[in-house]
Amino acid sequence: MKYGFSERVKFLKSSAVRDILKVINEGNIISFAGGLPEESLFPVKGVDEAFHKAITTSSKTLQYGETEGVPALKNALAEQMRKKGIDRDPGNILITSGSQQAIDLFSRVMFNKGDIILTENPTYLAALQVFESYETKVVAVDSDEEGMVISDLEDKITKLKPKCIYVVPTYSNPTGKVWSLERRKKLLALAEKYHVVIFEDDPYGELKFDTDVAPPSIASLDQNELVLYTSTFSKTVVPAMRIGWIVGPHQIIRIMAQAKQATDLHTNSISQHALVHLLEDFDLDAHIQLIRETYYERMIVMKELLDSVKIEGLSYIEPKGGMFFWVTLPEYINTTKLLNEAVKAGVAYVPGAPFYVSNPEQNTMRLNFTNSKPELIQTGMERLVHILESTQMNV
């Protein structure tokens, strides 16, 4: 039987990252490929107690809930964000089934076929996949270590009239980059000047290694209802709950809630109520501090091994937070082609190419350092370094 699918199916691709993950889960491979948090840090006891309380305190918790989210959770989030300078009414928050759903619902209510979205290059793969599934056109803006290059951004805004600028300005996936305060302000000023909406994706903001204060979120600088800001509990509590949120202009959030109603009625409310209890009863700040310290230690182990590689032209951005190293290799190394060999040698990474909107640099890779214990990072990186160095010799 042949089935007639919709046109938009053409734009759906399985994530390269997830396809690789499927393969490497089988066998004795040390994987730097995923974007998984460390399981041994999961606050099992806190989560267990929070769910117990959520389930047994009131049977209302187990009933159908509001599409917008559990009010107590929206209040707690508003309070949490206010401390970080994002001062918004709880009515401007929509609880989503992970922040991935925030990107999808936003796209659903905003984009028509052919609409232009500006992003960095490379950028978050799964956002690109969502945007493309709505038949939009994603255009890359030049960027450097501080963020988008403002002259190129203004040029592309005026020429292309984009509907939205999508950014991951803090410990980005895949590059680990942090935008400077200056660039954040200039981006916002351009968005104001030309009335373009900014979508600020911030899943990693809490995972900072510096004691320095990171630059404030773009949302916290926004006085004109131009920024939608999304984040998640997947990196700070546990991913399995699938709880994210988005805050933004009421007009947009309200319509996204209507779209969500058609999509899945509402987000799992046992998990939402459990989070309310967790935020009350559990010291999440101390827990996040533990995560930061653990990830920092692992990042340093990986960095030392990267520093030991004897390859002319290898460079990387040292992460100030987040979960990833972004490594650029000499141009003669094609990381997509090298992956098979690496997997045979017992180590996996994600080739950089799929993260590019255009002009993919084939000599890049993303390495995750959060999901392997230091000994494994050591062993895995030794394997990887060996492969890279022998590739060099074979040239």
* Interacting positions 280-319 with a copy of itself (CB under 8 A): none
Tokens of 61: 């918790």
Judged by CB under 8 A, which of 82, 193, 195, 337 binds a copy of itself? 195
Does 37 bind a copy of itself (CB under 8 A)? Our answer is: yes
Choose which of 16, 142, 216, 268 interacts with a copy of itself (CB under 8 A): 268
DSSP category for residue 246: E
By CB under 8 A, residue 246 contacts a copy of itself = no
Least gap, CB of 251 to a copy of itself (angstroms): 6
Residue 228, CA distances (Å) to 60, 106, 111, 197, 205 in order: 31, 9, 15, 8, 15
Say if strands 244-247 and 227-232 run parallel, antiparallel, or are unpaired. antiparallel
Report how far residue 330's alpha carbon sits from residue 123's, in angstroms, rounded to the nearest whole number.
Answer: 21
d(CA 286, CA 264): 34
Q: Tell whether residue 163 is a contact of a copy of itself (CB under 8 A).
A: yes
Stretch of 11-19, 141-149, 152-160, 202-210 lying at the interface with a copy of itself (CB under 8 A): 11-19
CB 361, min distance to a copy of itself, A: 24
Residue 152 in the binding site for a copy of itself (CB under 8 A) = no
Residues in 54-73 at the binding interface with a copy of itself, rule: CB under 8 A = 55-56, 59-65, 67
The β-bridge partners of 321 are: 208
Strand 315-317 with 324-328, pairing: antiparallel
- Give me the least distance between CB of 332 and a copy of itself, in Å please: 34
- Residue 277 touches a copy of itself, criterion: CB under 8 A: no
Q: Which residues contact 224 (CB under 8 A, 6 or more apart)?
A: 192
Residues 86-105 that bind a copy of itself (CB under 8 A): 96-98, 100-101, 104
Under rule CB under 8 A, which residues in 111-150 are in contact with a copy of itself?
Answer: 111-112, 115, 126, 129-130, 133-134
CA 298 – CA 71 distance, rounded (Å): 38
Residue 253 or 305: which CB sits closer to a copy of itself? 253
Bridge partners (DSSP) listed for residue 147:
144
Site size toward a copy of itself, by CB under 8 A:
80
Question: Which residues, including other chains, have CB under 8 Å from residue 361's CB and lie 6 or more apart?
Answer: 328, 352, 353
CB of 391 to a copy of itself, least distance (A): 31
Cα 226 → chain centroid: 20
Residue in 225, 361, 382, 389 binding a copy of itself, rule: CB under 8 A: 225
Residue 93 DSSP code:
E
| Window of 249-257, 329-337, 360-368, 382-390 that interacts with a copy of itself by CB under 8 A | 249-257
